[in-house]
Amino acid sequence: MIKLLAEAFDPFEEVKRFQEQSAGSACAVGATSIFIGTMRDFNEGDPVVSMFLEYYPGMTEKQLKDIVAEAIGQWAVLNVLVVHRVGNISPGDPIVVVAVETSHRGDAFDACRFIMEALKSKAPFWKKEQLKSQESRWVGNNSKGYAPE
Amino acid sequence: MSIKVRYFASLKESLGSDGIELFVTEPLTVEQIWSQATGQVGLPDNILVAVNMVYVDQTAEITDGDEVAFFPPVTGG
């Protein structure tokens, strides 16, 4: 399940709904890996008061779908949830939730991380930060944050 | 041929436009579309390109009805 939301959301409610909807395979699920990304109030040493998240309607959903399909092809994945915010966001707001249900923990951890890293490098989203100094700026690049061995 | 060109994020701001409809008489590459649309020679290295919502490189050829999107590195998540 892939969702883009223009309003603030509760990631735990989203995961709860996801688990209810995927209840058909509940007995096969032995592991659920969940990643929640939230907005910081600082970036590159500067205080940030808000952020705008632009996306490419149509392509963003397609990329997310392709990324999930790739994960399903690579690991024994039962169910996947990806929720991502767009629009105006405040510090502390959740930006993204990825939840992966599998039978075994290795697949859950690996597929969840793969989806998250692929999302950050391929899905067309762009962040524009409003700084405390009144200036605004586009975030130039996502940090690497992860170096697969 | 009619080509829909779109720009996003910082590129949209710097070009002062979210896109343009181009009418061309012969098949062009992505790089040639960029030059016709923006008047700039050469596609900057950091600009990503998608044709019909699929990533391509600057040598990809464009056909009638294609949507060509140019945008900066993505920063979601």
Residue A105 lies in a domain: yes
Q: Is B53 touching A (CB cutoff 8 A)?
A: yes
pLDDT of A27: 86
Query: Per the structure, how many domains does chain A have?
Result: 1
Per the model's pLDDT, the better-predicted residue between A141 and A47 turns out to be A47
Domains and CATH numbers, chain B: 2-71 (3.10.20.30)
In a domain, A53, yes or no: yes
Q: What is the pLDDT of residue B61?
A: 96
Q: Rounded CA gap, B22 and B2, in Å? A: 6
Per-residue pLDDT, A23: 80
Q: How far is A27 from chain B (nearest CA, A)?
A: 31
Range of the domain at A127: 2-133
Task: Return the closest-CA partner of residue A98 out of A17, A1, A20, A10.
Answer: A1
CA distance B32 to chain A (A): 22
Residue A141, in any domain of the structure: no
Instruction: For A39-73, write each residue's pLDDT tens digit.
Output: 999 999 999 999 999 999 999 999 999 999 999 99
With CA atoms as reference, the chain B residue closest to A82 would be: B77
Least confident of A16-30, A34-48, A114-128: A16-30
Return the C-alpha torsion angle B54, B43, A140, A138, nearest 10.
Answer: -90
- pTM summary value: 0.94
* pLDDT for the residue numbered A15: 97
Does A139 reside within a domain?
A: no
Instruction: Tell me the average pLDDT of chain A.
Output: 94
Q: What is the ipTM of this complex?
A: 0.96
Residue A26 pLDDT level (bands cut at 50, 70, 90): confident
Cross-chain Cβ contact B75/A84 below 8 Å: no
**A93 falls within a domain:** yes
Which residue, among A8, A5, A4, has the nearest Cα to A91 in the 3D structure? A8
Chain A contact present for B74, CB below 8 A:
yes
Look at residue A24 and tell me if it is in a domain: yes
Please report the DSSP string for A111-147 in residue order. Answer: HHHHHHHHHHHHS-EEEEEEETTS-EEE---------
Residue type, A24: G
A56, A95, A137, best to mutate vs chain B, most B CBs in 10 Å: A56
Interface list for chain A against chain B, based on CB atoms closer than 8 Å: 37, 53-56, 58-59, 62-63, 84, 95-96, 116, 119-128, 138-142
Residue A140 covered by a domain:
no
CATH number of the CATH domain containing A93: 3.90.1170.40
Q: How many CB pairs under 8 A join A and B?
A: 74
What tokens were used for A144?
A: 């690497």
For A79-113, what is each residue's pLDDT tens digit?
999 999 999 999 999 999 999 999 999 999 999 99
Q: Is B31 exposed, middle or buried (0-12, 13-18, 19+ CB in 10 A)?
A: middle
